């Protein structure tokens, strides 16, 4: 169960003012830690490592419990042992799922790379739009130029000069 007193670092007999000061200090410390990218990265890594270590120790305890339960003579406490074994197995499965989810969360570096990638992708899309627009404009200008050249050739034909000189 979550212990608010230990989280705030106060005794159950603490006065309201002491509790409020502890709360403010806790929130300020958390805020200062999480807004500093370097400290936040270190904190995230520390939490991950701590969790993975706890999960590994838990798996070892669960394996030991399984070994004890399956390799000992049966006795009056079997029901309790089997229930504990079942609970530990469920917890191990939950922790394994949580570790998988934790590993799936991108780290800060990955988030930064993703932001940079998204920014570059938007820039490329923007430039592609301009290149497409420019290519269409060039095509239109080339068509107009060909039409003007064709008109100029028509004007410069000898038979057109005879008509004008007569």
Taking only the tens place, the pLDDT of each residue in 72-102 is 556 666 666 666 767 777 777 777 777 777 7
- The string of pLDDT tens digits covering residues 10-67 is 988 999 999 999 999 999 999 999 999 999 989 888 888 887 777 777 777 777 766 7
Which residues, other chains included, contact 94 with Cβ-Cβ below 8 Å and sequence gap of 6+?
none
Rounded to whole angstroms, the Cα distance separating 67 from 85 reads 10
Domain of 125, in residue numbers:
110-166
Residue 145 lies inside a defined structural domain of this protein: yes
42 inside domain: no
Q: Is 104 part of a structural domain of the chain?
A: no
Q: Is residue 24 part of a domain?
A: no
Overall domain count for the chain: 1
Query: What predicted TM-score, i.e. pTM, was given to this entire model?
Result: 0.37
CB–CB of 45/53 below 8 Å? no
């Amino acid at each position: 169960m979550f212990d608010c007193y230990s989280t705030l670092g106060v005794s159950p007999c603490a006065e309201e003012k002491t509790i409020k000061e502890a709360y403010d200090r806790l929130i300020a410390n958390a805020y200062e830690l999480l807004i500093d990218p370097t400290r936040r990265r270190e904190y995230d890594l520390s939490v991950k490592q701590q969790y993975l270590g706890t999960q590994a120790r838990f798996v070892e305890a669960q394996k030991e419990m399984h070994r004890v339960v399956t390799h000992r003579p049966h006795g009056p406490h079997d029901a309790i042992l089997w229930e504990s074994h079942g609970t530990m197995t469920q917890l191990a499965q939950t922790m394994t799922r949580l570790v998988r989810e934790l590993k799936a969360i991108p780290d800060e570096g990955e988030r930064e790379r993703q932001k940079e990638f998204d920014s570059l992708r938007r820039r490329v899309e923007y430039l592609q739009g301009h290149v497409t627009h420019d290519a269409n404009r060039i095509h239109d200008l080339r068509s107009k130029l060909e039409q003007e050249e064709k008109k100029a050739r028509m004007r410069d034909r000898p038979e057109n000069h005879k008509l004008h000189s007569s």
